[in-house]
Amino acid sequence: MGKRRRAREAAIQYHFWRDLQRGETPERMDDFWEFCPVKANVREFAQPIIEGMIAHLPEIDERIKRYCENYNLNRISTVDRNVLRLAIYEMLYRDDIPPIVSINEAIELAKTFGGAESGGFVNGILDRVRKDLTRPAREAVSSSQKERQN
């Protein structure tokens, strides 16, 4: 398993744990890493994802609610909800990751950790998010491309 996949798994585990604790976070982030030990290069990729998901959680959850019409956010399984949060965070705030990569990774994570319908559910929601993006779906946005867009 690659470091990025393992880092995404750690991010989902962190947010799954956070959901079960009703939004509470550990006093020290090192407490989580003791519970979920990973190699340094995995942690290096996971840490900004975890922090970014926390920082943008209201916007991410609002996006999920928008695409899950007539479906309460809390009725989505904890695994599926956090897989969606991860992918939407990457799609909206991580220009260095192509959206299609985020979608494919999320589908695989949902299939691995979610229920029988999780992969299809996650795919359906993320495809709708992708269609609303203004950046290319299959490539990362470089710094020079960002400057030209602004």
What is the second-level CATH architecture of the domain 3-142?
Orthogonal Bundle (1.10)
pLDDT above 90: percentage of residues in the chain:
63
Residues 129 and 87: their CA atoms lie apart, in Å, by 10
How many Cα atoms occupy the beta-carbon half-sphere of 29 within 13 Å?
Answer: 11
Place of tokens 């999920």: 64
Instruction: Indicate the range of 4-18, 51-65, 76-90, 129-143 predicted with least confidence.
Output: 129-143
Structure token pair of residue 112: 């691995």
Structure token pair of residue 55: 């920082």
Return the domain boundaries, the chain: 3-142
pTM of the model: 0.87
Q: What is the pLDDT of residue 24?
A: 67
Segment 79-91, tens digit of pLDDT: 999 999 999 999 9
